[in-house]
Chain A
Amino acid sequence: MVEQIDLSQVNWARGQFALTAIYHWLFVPLTLGLSFLLAFFETIYVKTGNEEWKRLTKFWMTLFAINFAIGVATGLILEFQFGTNWSKYSWMVGDIFGAPLAIEGIFAFFLEASFFAIMFFGWEKVSKGLHLFSTWMVAVGSNLSAVWILVANGWMQFPTGMAFNPDNARFEMQNFADIVFSPVAVGKFTHATSSSFLLAALFVIGVSSWFLLKGRHELMAKRSIAVASIFGLLSSVYVVFTGDEAAYNIADKQPMKLAAMEGLYRGQESAPLVGFGIPNPYKEVGDSADPFIAEFKIPGLLSLLANREAGSFVPGMYDLAFGNPERGIRGVQERIASGERAIDYLGSYKKAVSEGNEEAAGSYLSSFNQHREDLGYGYLDKPTDAVPPVATTFWSFHIMVVLGMLFPIIFILFMVFLKKGTVSSHRWLLNLGIISIPLSYIASQAGWVTAEVGRQPWAIQGLLPVQVATSNLTTAAVQTTFFVFLVLFTLLLVAEVGIMLKQIKLGPEEK
């Protein structure tokens, strides 16, 4: 099977998935966060009866809808791409992975879709109470859909609650609760949603800052900033907290990813955290080159973050690839050998079953069972295949962290100057507010790059490498769809940004 694998096709399929996921995630975080901000704004309107708050809500709602539509468009392809481009994946784990996607449809998408129409067109048609309820339901629905897709993603990062069935050649679900409440799934959900709230808060602050700079709609802008900065600050505290939890989980469940995030080639006790560093692009796992061209490290902090103990041992990429018996780490090298035997035994078992030779089948099955934990490793060629692209993982992680530290400061500054009543007079602050919009998108994307590039080569951590998960497609077919999506999504993005900017310039409806 391995010799049939066409690496270039795999990489185009990877590229297509990355492309569609990146585009999708350009729109989703704003939906997740702005939906709650709309609910806050409208709640204030209903409580106070002040029509200004209604105008404000409707203004942000227009931007929400523009963004929402393209989020839906790019999301469609992500769901079906599992089937079209990753059909072996779909068969091997569909028994587990399909369920959260279907549940997402039943519980979340219909909430969003049905209440969206009321929220957007129902101002005149339903009571104030039902309208407010609908706005809240859109927020709940959007975030519920995040729950289920992140349960699915969390399972790919940390597969649990299932077992391999050699007769069907697939993994089957054994425990649904384990999958839904897996620490990785919970961590993914809380970190991804809270960071999205943060992004939406910065979006509202940034757009409001522009109005203040232009001296337009000042009251609306200040009110928006007041709500968004509180929401943003609370979210950013939570982002830091959940980010720490995520790092702890990664250290436990995906130590190779953690090592790549920090450029840690050789494991050590009291491992330092790289505060700033430029990784050496020529460094290979196992050679003696210096991992960094320049670096500034904080001693013991990585050990503390990873294991909650400053002096503890954190394994490096070398230890994980080649093993470290002293620390009880079974290396990839050893697992490849074992995995190759698992593949052989599985093939022999299937053959014996098809020939009706029960005795031989039983014997092959028991041999397979001794190696089944390493099945996925059998598809790797060499130990370093299990090492993700270090530079990309390192940079994306550090960009995310640095920006994540900056955002709470921005929220606090806006809160302080708003309270003082001088927010409009500080042009530097307003400009910072505008710049923080792209920065928040960069941070958000960087987070996903860390999560997804950092787990390569695995489609499902430790079980299924990406190259075994693809469909039997020609490279040309995948290339074609890659470029079709690239062109189409780019066109739609240009249109979306154009419409957004125009709507912002137009501002809220006149009284």
Chain B
Amino acid sequence: MIGQLDLSTLQHIWWIIVSLVGSIFLFLTFVQGGQTLIFSVAKNEEEKTLLINSLGRKWELTFTTLVLFGGGLFAAFPKFYATSFGGAYWVWMLILLTFIIQAVSYEYRSKPGNFLGARVYEIFLFINGSIGILLIGTAVATFFSGSNFILNEMNQVTWQTPLRGLEAAGSFFNLSLGLFLVFLARVLGGMYLLNNIEHEELESRCRRSIWINFLWSLPFLLFFLISLMIREGFAVDPASGEVVRQQFKYFYNLIGFPVNLALCLLGLGMVIYGVVANVYKDQKNGIWFGGLGTILVGLAVFFLAGFNNTPFYPSSVDLGSSLTIANASSSHFTLTVMSYVALAVPAVMAYIAFLWYRMDRKKLNLAELEGEGAKSLY
């Protein structure tokens, strides 16, 4: 059945799937955001331990989603995988390093004999939550601002700057998306913690943190969105396949496709509602609105970058090298095989949701940290 779809349809489906995984990752960065709150929201070691143990029950989901995002891109758009990872070497290496140090930190932090001391592992968590997310944001922004690479006739990449991707952080446009994601992650982190733990003082501090970080996120979001709408974008001429620069390209992508506009507005509205519900209505369920809203906005951002004859990974030094979902994808056969595999994704998401629900029915509190199993805590 899937095999009868034409290549272009499969490429579009796979861009949607990859966008969805990427957007779910953005939601799950509440773990990273939460990691940056451990020094400010928690006022003593006990509270810090509570926060870290609450986050520690979710960190692997975020991590695994990131790995799946990479794996999905590799399988569906291998030319992007080869070009970006092999080209923007330093930015990806730094991102990976921040996730490597995260992966051990939960398990090792509170264990005796951990060699580096608890404080170092806490700093590792902070670095992952701040620098890691900042760099991911700047990397994603290059989907719109372009990168410095050239592909040869064998599709092999040469990067044109010695900074190999880190130069993206020199643009305030790119940085603004990175900084917005850092603050958004902190908002989501606060929302998650508020929902997951039972501790009166921490709850009120989480509420305040959600509000402050939300306010901090706004200027960067506005700057990014306005710049995106008015900037010169990249477009593909569908007839010749030629890539050209086009003024207001992303604005056209937004208003030309009501779905994008709807996703964007609905998503932003949900995030704002989540914040208001948490901060002013004394509710604890803001994370669901904030999370779903983040996913919707994320989808809109990825759709703006990849659909409507837009190269999703443009080269600013050689327009002809730009990657589109058409020229970067796997073969028809591979996309078909992978589409059958993707049919299992709803089932995977269902059992994750079920387990999550079962585990979180009872909120985490200080009493639990002292109960049976205290030795295996993070």
Q: What residues of chain A have their CB less than 8 Å away from a CB belonging to chain B?
A: 1, 58, 61-62, 65-66, 68-70, 72-74, 76-77, 79-80, 82-88, 90-91, 94-99, 101-107, 109-110, 112-118, 120-126, 130, 134, 165, 168-170, 172-174, 176, 350, 354, 471-473, 477, 481, 484, 488, 491-492, 494-496, 498-499, 501-503, 506, 509
Measured between beta carbons, the chain B residues less than 8 angstroms from A503 are: 111, 113
Whether B330 contacts A91 by the Cβ 8 Å rule is no
Whether B103 contacts A121 by the Cβ 8 Å rule is no
Main secondary structure of the interface of A (DSSP, over half): helix
Whether B153 contacts A354 by the Cβ 8 Å rule is yes
Measured between beta carbons, the chain B residues less than 8 angstroms from A106 are: 68, 341-342, 344-345, 348
Whether A103 contacts B114 by the Cβ 8 Å rule is no
Whether A126 contacts B358 by the Cβ 8 Å rule is yes
Whether B86 contacts A85 by the Cβ 8 Å rule is yes
Q: Mark B83-113, 1 if CB is under 8 A from A, else 0.
A: 1111101101100110111011011100111
Whether B338 contacts A99 by the Cβ 8 Å rule is yes
Among B225-233, B276-284, B369-377, the stretch that binds chain A is: B369-377
Residue in A closest to B159 when the chains form the complex, CB atoms: A472
Contacts A83-B84, A96-B334 known; A168 to B373 CB distance under 8 Å?
Answer: no
Shortest beta-carbon distance, B61 to chain A, in Å?
6
Whether A113 contacts B63 by the Cβ 8 Å rule is yes
Whether B104 contacts A87 by the Cβ 8 Å rule is no
Residue in A closest to B361 when the chains form the complex, CB atoms: A125
Whether A117 contacts B76 by the Cβ 8 Å rule is no
Shortest beta-carbon distance, B190 to chain A, in Å?
21
Measured between beta carbons, the chain B residues less than 8 angstroms from A83 are: 70, 74, 81-82, 84-86, 92
Measured CA separation A481–B164 after assembly (Å): 13
Most buried by A among B82, B97, B111, B154: B82
Measured between beta carbons, the chain B residues less than 8 angstroms from A118 are: 355, 358-359
Residue in B closest to A126 when the chains form the complex, CB atoms: B358
Whether B67 contacts A76 by the Cβ 8 Å rule is yes
Measured between beta carbons, the chain A residues less than 8 angstroms from B186 are: none
Whether B359 contacts A122 by the Cβ 8 Å rule is yes
Whether B111 contacts A499 by the Cβ 8 Å rule is yes
Measured CA separation A113–B60 after assembly (Å): 6
Whether B371 contacts A110 by the Cβ 8 Å rule is no
Shortest beta-carbon distance, B147 to chain A, in Å?
14
Measured between beta carbons, the chain A residues less than 8 angstroms from B63 are: 72, 76, 113
Whether B358 contacts A103 by the Cβ 8 Å rule is no
Whether B352 contacts A73 by the Cβ 8 Å rule is no
Partner of A98, one of B75, B100, B158, B361: B75
Q: Mark B116-153, 1 if CB is under 8 A from A, else 0.
A: 10000000000000000000000000000000000001
Q: Mark B339-350, 1 if CB is under 8 A from A, else 0.
A: 001101100100
Contacts A94-B82, A113-B63 known; A173 to B331 CB distance under 8 Å?
Answer: yes
Shortest beta-carbon distance, B100 to chain A, in Å?
5
Contacts A94-B82, A471-B86 known; A87 to B157 CB distance under 8 Å?
Answer: yes
5 contacts between A and B (CB under 8 A): A83-B85, A106-B345, A168-B155, A173-B330, A499-B115
Measured between beta carbons, the chain B residues less than 8 angstroms from A473 are: 86, 89
Whether B373 contacts A123 by the Cβ 8 Å rule is yes
Whether B104 contacts A98 by the Cβ 8 Å rule is no
Shortest beta-carbon distance, A371 to chain B, in Å?
17
